[in-house]
Amino acid sequence: MFPAVMAGDELQVGVPCGVFKLCPATAAKQGRPLVFLAAGVGVTPLMSMMQALVDGDEVDPGSVTFVQCCRSEEHQPMKADVAVLKDKGIK
């Protein structure tokens, strides 16, 4: 999606649309880290993708970064599931 993002770059984001799938083998071959960004319940499809990554062997979970935005910690959707993924190595 963004092949040459550098620290300090600004990205324009919007609602999920179009093809929304994960190709871990492609990311692993290219040696690129994976970054997942979620807000609110938009975390739902990303959770299954990240779970597939930690259950598989194509991608090192340490190369995956997950950022979830929510109003407060008490309003965090799927908080327990996120903690499990963190314990499995996702940053």
Q: What is the pLDDT of residues 22-44, one digit of tens each?
A: 777 777 777 778 889 998 888 88
Fold of 24-87: Rossmann fold (3.40.50)
Q: What is the pTM (predicted TM-score) of this model?
A: 0.72
What's the pLDDT tens digit per position in 39-72?
A: 888 888 899 889 988 888 888 888 899 999 998 8
What are the angstrom distances between the C-alpha of 71 and each of 45, 55, 68, 74, 77? 20, 30, 10, 8, 10
16 pLDDT tier (thresholds 50, 70, 90): low
